[in-house]
Amino acid sequence: MESSLTNACKIKIEKFEGPLDLLFHLIEKNKMNIYDIPISEITDQYMDYLFSMKQMDLEIASEFLVMASALLHIKSKMLLPKPKKEENSQEEEDPRQQLVVSLLEYKKYKQFSMQLSDRMELWSKVFYKEPEMIEFAKIEKLINLCPFELRRTYLHIMGRNAKKANPGASNITEILKTEKVTLKSKINEIISLLARKAVIIFSSVFSLAKRSRTEVVTGFLAVLELAKLKKIRIEQDYITGDIKITKCEESGS
């Protein structure tokens, strides 16, 4: 009896999803009662399956081995003589209980997973319509007005904004350009000035009277930069006094 079962097992090496899946297969194939699993029989078959997998050089997932050891453990427990007890009910003592609970729970989801598979097949056969951009054309209404209305509106606006308007606006011929002052241009300017003069006074070159604020600030930054590069020497006798700029001959270039 057992040999024919093991043969059947050897012939058909299916892919099982896990040890529980395999156990289920064995239980169903042998029409075993899940609540009273013949543990010795099922363990043998289970082990046979693992051996045949090994023979076929299939990789055995570690979970299968864990289950194998659990089965053997249960089997050995069942072999041991039961300690004498006043009651005969095995329900709480049955070493197979945990396994049965796991198997039943697994089966529940496995069955549902097959339903899911069917449902997916069915519901992949319906089509939905992708939403499309629905654009509403803007309707421009023509307004029926006489030219005088335009004039009247224009005058009205002019009158309303009379206070805000700049009467000299029409005299402006050029739009003020934003100055473009770069540090580099100021550095060059100072160097070329120093080429002609031995000493220059900062305030006389970059005075707010002659230059814009941006130019003065950038000029000052240029002086600091040149001093840092040791191209020039700067002297100031007292705070807020004139800044004298001289060339720094020795250390420079």
Partner 1 sequence: MDSLSLPEIEGIIEALLFAHGEPLPLQKICDILEIDKKTVKSLINNMNIKYEKNDRGIMIRDINEKYQLCTKFQYYPYVKKLFDYKQAPSLSQAAFETLAIIAYNQPVTKAKIEKIRGVNCESAISKLLERNLIREAGRLDAPGKPVLYETTEQFLKSFGFSSIKDLPVLDMDI
Among 43, 63, 50, residue whose Cα is nearest residue 106: 63
CB 49 to partner 1: min, Å: 15
Q: Which is nearer to partner 1, 61 or 78 (CB)?
A: 61
Footprint of partner 1 on this chain (CB under 8 A)? 17-21, 34, 61, 63, 67, 102, 104-117, 119-132, 134
Bridge partners (DSSP) of residue 236 are 243
CB 65 to partner 1: min, Å: 12
CB 72 to partner 1: min, Å: 16
Q: Which is nearer to partner 1, 63 or 179 (CB)?
A: 63
Question: Is the sign of the CA dihedral 95, 96, 98, 99 positive or negative?
Answer: positive
Bridge partners (DSSP) of residue 200 are 245
Q: Which is nearer to partner 1, 128 or 148 (CB)?
A: 128
Q: Which is nearer to partner 1, 114 or 157 (CB)?
A: 114
Contact 214, 181 (CB under 8 A): yes
**Residue 164 structure tokens:** 């805000």
CB 111 to partner 1: min, Å: 8
Bridge partners (DSSP) of residue 243 are 236
Cβ count near 78 (within 10 Å) = 15
The pairing of beta strand 232-236 with beta strand 199-201:
unpaired
**Residue 112 structure tokens:** 């549902």
**Pseudo-torsion of CA 143, 146, 148, 150, nearest 10°?**
20
Q: Which is nearer to partner 1, 98 or 212 (CB)?
A: 98
**Residue 79 structure tokens:** 């072999």
Q: Which is nearer to partner 1, 8 or 116 (CB)?
A: 116
